[in-house]
Amino acid sequence: VEACGVNFPDTLIVQGKYQFQPPLPFSPGGEVCGIIKELGDGVKTYKVGDRVVAMIGWGGFCEEIAVHVSKLMPLPDSMDAVVGSAFAMTYGTTYHAFKDRGQLKPGQIVLVLGAAGGVGIAAVEIAKLMGAKVIACASSEEKLNVCKQ
C-alpha cells in the first residue's frame, strides 16, 4: 500500500454508523493505491509491479493487503499514489450520479453545494467536462476560489 484515502464512509464505519460494518477489530481505509507484489493463480489482467487503485471497503490502513482482482483498476502513469488513493470514490460517485442517475446532458445547469469538498470538487470538474454549466456554492470566499481553479 503506497497510499490510502480517507473519505466520509470511513468516518461512518469507525463510528459504527455505515450500512456495511466489518467485524471488530478492523482497519479503516476503503480505497488504496499500491504496487502489485504477488498475483493469484490465473490472473492475467495485471502483472507484478503494476500500479493499481483498489476499492476495498476497509482494511487499507495496512502495509500490505490482499485484494481480489475484480476490485483493481490500473493507476495511470500521470497520477501519483496520493491522488489515486482518493480518486475512485469521489469521482466514481459523482460520475455515477451525473451519468447513470441524473442523465446529465451538455448545456444543463448543475448546482453544486459544498463545491470545495472532495465530492464537490469532483462534481464541478465532471459536470464541466460533460458540458454542463456549473453553479458552485461554498461557505467562504477562500473555498469559492478553490472552485474557480
Task: Encode pLDDT of 75-134 as tens digits.
Answer: 999 999 999 998 888 898 899 999 999 999 999 999 999 998 888 999 999 999 999 999
pLDDT at 149 over 90: no
> pLDDT higher for 117 or 39?
39
Distance between CA atoms of 61 and 4, rounded to whole angstroms? 6
**Pairing relationship of beta strands 72-74 and 51-55 according to DSSP bridges:** antiparallel
All three cell numbers of 8: 466520509
Distance between CA atoms of 119 and 122, rounded to whole angstroms? 5
Task: Encode pLDDT of 17-36 as tens digits.
Answer: 999 888 888 889 999 999 99
- Considering the entire predicted model, what is its pTM? 0.75
pLDDT at 7: 84
Cβ-based neighbours of 124, under 8 Å, separated by 6 or more = 112, 115, 134, 136, 147
